[in-house]
Structure 1
Amino acid sequence: MALTKSFKDRIQNRAARDSEFRYGLLTESIESMLSGDIDTGKSLLRDYVNATIGFEGLAELTEKSPKSLMRMVSPSGNPTAKNLFAIISLLQREEGLHLQIRTA
């Protein structure tokens, strides 16, 4: 199901004013991927990028085309681990986060 414009606007507006929301969106994306739900993780990562630096900004940081980055996190995208972890690393740095994995 495609997201409506108003929903996308709400995500962007909330992310712009709420650092905890941005943190939650990024961490939920990573947790989803680590638990095996790659599609949800990529979707949340795409939402996070759209709501924060955008794909143009991410493209400048990664030196990859915005379209290539969008394809990587699309439902049919299949990013390499190297590309995916590079994106996550850059997003953490931009957000001022250092995420760690702990056993539960």
Structure 2
Amino acid sequence: MALTRDFKQTVQARVLADPAFRDALLKEGVETMLAGDVDTGKGILRDYIKATVGFERLGADTGTSPKSLIRMFGPTGNPQARNLFAVISHLQQHAGVTLQVTSRTR
């Protein structure tokens, strides 16, 4: 189900107004991908990118075409690990956060 424009605008406004929410959105996108739900994780990161750095600036900063980035985080995108990790690294630097992976036994 597609998100409505009002919902996306609400998320963007919250990201701009609430740094804790912004950081949690980045963390949720990465955690969702690591949990195996790559499509949902890409969607979360796409919304995060749109609400923060934007695809144009992200492309300039990472040396990747903005159109390639948009495709990469789109519903049918299949990013290479190198490109995905470069973007995640840049997003962490831009947000001033460091995400860490920890293991847990089930």
RMSD of the alignment, in Å? 0.8
Runs of 4+ in 1 over 6 A off after TM superposition: none
**1:9 maps to what in 2?**
9
1:1-104 to 2 correspondences below 5 Å: 1-104=1-104
Q: CA shift at 1:89, angstroms?
A: 0.1
Return the alpha-carbon distance in structure 2 between the equivalents of residues 12 and 35 of structure 1.
25
C-alpha distance in 2 between matches for 1:84 and 1:93: 14
Q: SS of the residue aligned with 1:64?
A: coil
**Stretch moving more, 85-94 or 7-16:** 7-16
* TM-score computed with the length of structure 2 as normaliser: 0.94
Structure 1: segments with no counterpart, 5+ residues: none
CA–CA distance in structure 2, aligned partners of residues 5 and 31 of structure 1: 25
Distance 1:88 1:64 in 2: 13
Q: Where does structure 2 lack aligned partners over 5 or more consecutive residues? A: none
Distance in 1, matches of 2:99 and 2:84, equals 15
Counterpart-to-counterpart distance in 2, 1:63 and 1:92: 17
**TM-score, normalised on structure 1?**
0.96
Following TM superposition, by how much is the alpha carbon of 1:6 offset from its aligned partner in structure 2, in angstroms? 1.1
Deviations 1:13-48 (A, max 9, x none): 000010111111111111111111100110001010
